[in-house]
């Protein structure tokens, strides 16, 4: 049998803490990225007007802003249990080096996947601190890692021409003409881990119909209509992954509050 859903107060507290913490860490990672990539951003048409690259914001100002973001993030982590705190703190140094691989490896999207999805085990351990060896938790974390490679490769397809000239490496360049078939494998891995984690944790039918099925259909639509040669279409498909996140979250919420008779 699946666990009972949390009471409304607990749900709101944990959701607020996670949303605030993940937003702060994501914002800090973007700040670091803009600081470290300012020389790469200047020759690229789409990024040349970013605040640091254009000189609107100085590196010193950006660094101060970064320290404030990290400081508030650490404070938020002190509000949760020790296991989740230690897990979340691991994400800080990982996020610090997001920009580093872009000039030395074709897989910066993989590092981004590790950095941006460390919040999943942190959120899991907020409510189940004893689950450090949970197979569903780590399997689903791997799935979101694959999802990041999926959407960030689509994002990187916008700049393939400029990236070659600027010396920036990415999976979009590495995959070349096979970008869509290869991304279909990463998408399938994400959908598969959603299904596996749901089965192992006895999630009810709405999770599979809305979360897993909706995710699969959305990714099929993305790749089926994606034109990697049109930057504007790449941007639209990349942004649509926000909607995909709502679909998966909707499936989870429906599963939390569905009657037991619909259990899968």
Q: What is the mean pLDDT of residues 164-186?
A: 93
Identify which has the larger pLDDT, 16 or 172: 172
% helix, strand, coil for the chain, step of 5: 75, 0, 20
Q: What is the mean pLDDT of residues 130-151?
A: 96
Confidence of residue 76 (pLDDT cuts 50, 70, 90): confident
Q: What is the pLDDT of residue 127?
A: 84
Rounded to 5°, angle at Cα 112 from 238 and 71: 110
Q: What is the mean pLDDT of residues 192-211?
A: 95
Q: What is the mean pLDDT of residues 62-67?
A: 93
User: In the predicted model, is pLDDT for residue 4 greater than 70?
Assistant: no
Count CB-CB contacts under 10 A for residue 154: 28
User: In the predicted model, is pLDDT for residue 246 greater than 80?
Assistant: yes
Q: What is the pLDDT of residue 261?
A: 44
User: In the predicted model, is pLDDT for residue 163 greater than 50?
Assistant: yes
Identify which has the larger pLDDT, 11 or 49: 49
Q: What is the pLDDT of residue 95?
A: 57
How far are the Cα atoms of 24, 62, 109 from residue 106, in angstroms, in the given order? 27, 27, 8
Q: CA 153 to CA 134: how far, in whole Å?
A: 29
Confidence of residue 94 (pLDDT cuts 50, 70, 90): low
So where are the chain's domains? 8-262
Q: CA 45 to CA 162: how far, in whole Å?
A: 8
Angle at which helices 241-256 and 135-156 cross, to 10°: 160
Give the closest residue to 48 by CA, choosing from 57, 39, 61, 35.
39
Which CATH number, 1.10.357.140, 3.30.1490.190, 3.30.1330.60, 3.40.50.300, labels domain 8-262?
1.10.357.140
Give the percent of the chain with pLDDT over 90. 52
């Amino acid at each position: 049998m699946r666990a009972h859903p949390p009471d409304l107060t607990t749900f709101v507290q944990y959701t607020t803490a996670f949303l605030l913490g993940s937003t702060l860490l994501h914002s800090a990672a973007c700040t670091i990225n803009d600081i470290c990539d300012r020389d790469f951003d200047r020759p690229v048409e789409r990024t040349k007007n970013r605040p640091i690259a254009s000189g609107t914001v100085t590196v010193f100002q950006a660094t101060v802003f970064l320290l404030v973001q990290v400081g508030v993030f650490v404070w938020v982590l002190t509000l949760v249990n020790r296991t989740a705190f230690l897990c979340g703190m691991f994400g800080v140094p990982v996020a610090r080096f997001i920009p580093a691989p872009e000039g030395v490896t074709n897989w910066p999207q993989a590092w981004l996947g590790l950095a941006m999805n460390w919040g999943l085990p942190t959120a899991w351990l907020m409510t189940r601190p004893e689950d450090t060896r949970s197979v569903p938790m780590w399997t689903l974390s791997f799935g979101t890692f694959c999802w990041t490679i999926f959407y960030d490769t689509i994002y990187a397809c916008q700049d393939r021409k400029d990236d070659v000239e600027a010396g920036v490496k990415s999976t979009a360049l590495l995959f070349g003409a096979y970008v869509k078939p290869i991304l279909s494998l990463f998408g399938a891995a994400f959908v598969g881990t959603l299904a596996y984690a749901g089965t192992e944790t006895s999630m009810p039918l709405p999770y599979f119909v809305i979360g897993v099925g909706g995710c699969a259909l959305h990714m099929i639509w993305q790749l089926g209509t994606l034109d990697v040669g049109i930057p504007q279409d790449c941007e639209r498909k990349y942004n649509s992954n926000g909607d995909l996140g709502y679909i998966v979250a909707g499936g989870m919420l429906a599963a939390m509050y569905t009657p037991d008779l619909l259990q899968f």
